[in-house]
Amino acid sequence: MKKLFLSFGILALLCNPSTFNAQSEPPTEEWSVVDLTTENGLAVVKGNLDEGKPMPLEWAAQSNVACFPATRFFEYQGNHLLYRVQMPAAAKIVVTVKPKNKKTRVNLYALRLGANNYDNPPDIARSISCEASYPIYAGKPNLRAPATEKSIEYISIRKPYNILIGVAGAGGITEGDFELEVKIFAR
């Protein structure tokens, strides 16, 4: 009897066309990414969180991405905007976001991806590394503290990388002006 069920199970698997189609699922939602180009190692973009949208955050706490822990999801529960910049080999990159209003809490994250990897959250399976910049606190966040600029740095030795940058509002913030600055230095 067990052999009969096993045989039917194998037959059902072989008759399923998706068994032979190794393509991955399409993204759950389209996320636009702005490609940045630097001039003399500098790119500056002015933006507003109202141009983005909220993003599911489970990807960020997965160990193969490890961007920020689930205990800090609050810091990224507003609208997200995504940017991408190419980081050359033997370089240092500094990414800074500056909120224009001290009441608009804007946070930052950046994923280091392979030079030919154009994946982006929330449909991202892994990253080489991820850095996040948000206020550090124990317990509950101090929402009365003024918003400050946030920065992230990466260096490269022998390989170029894609750096995917995310700017997000904290705690459901969906509107607010900011300036994003990307500086690339030769090492």
pLDDT, one tens digit per residue, over 73-100 is 999 999 999 999 999 999 999 999 999 9
pLDDT tens digit sequence for 21-76: 333 334 446 789 999 999 999 999 999 999 999 999 999 999 999 999 999 999 99
The reply to whether 52 falls in a domain is yes
Question: Considering its fold, how many domains does the chain have in total?
Answer: 1
What residue numbers bound the domain in which 63 lies? 39-136+145-186
Paired sense of beta strands 129-133 and 42-48, if any: unpaired
Which CATH number characterizes residue 165's domain? 2.60.120.380
Other residues' Cβ atoms within 10 Å of the Cβ of residue 141 = 17
What whole-number distance in Å separates Cα of residue 111 and Cα of residue 121?
A: 10
Q: 25 in a domain, yes or no?
A: no
| Strand blocks (E) in 88-160 | 91-99, 106-114, 129-133, 150-155
Residue 62: count of CB within 10 angstroms of its CB: 14
| Contact between residue 65 and residue 144 where contact means Cβ atoms under 8 Å apart | no
User: Residue 9 domain-assigned?
Assistant: no
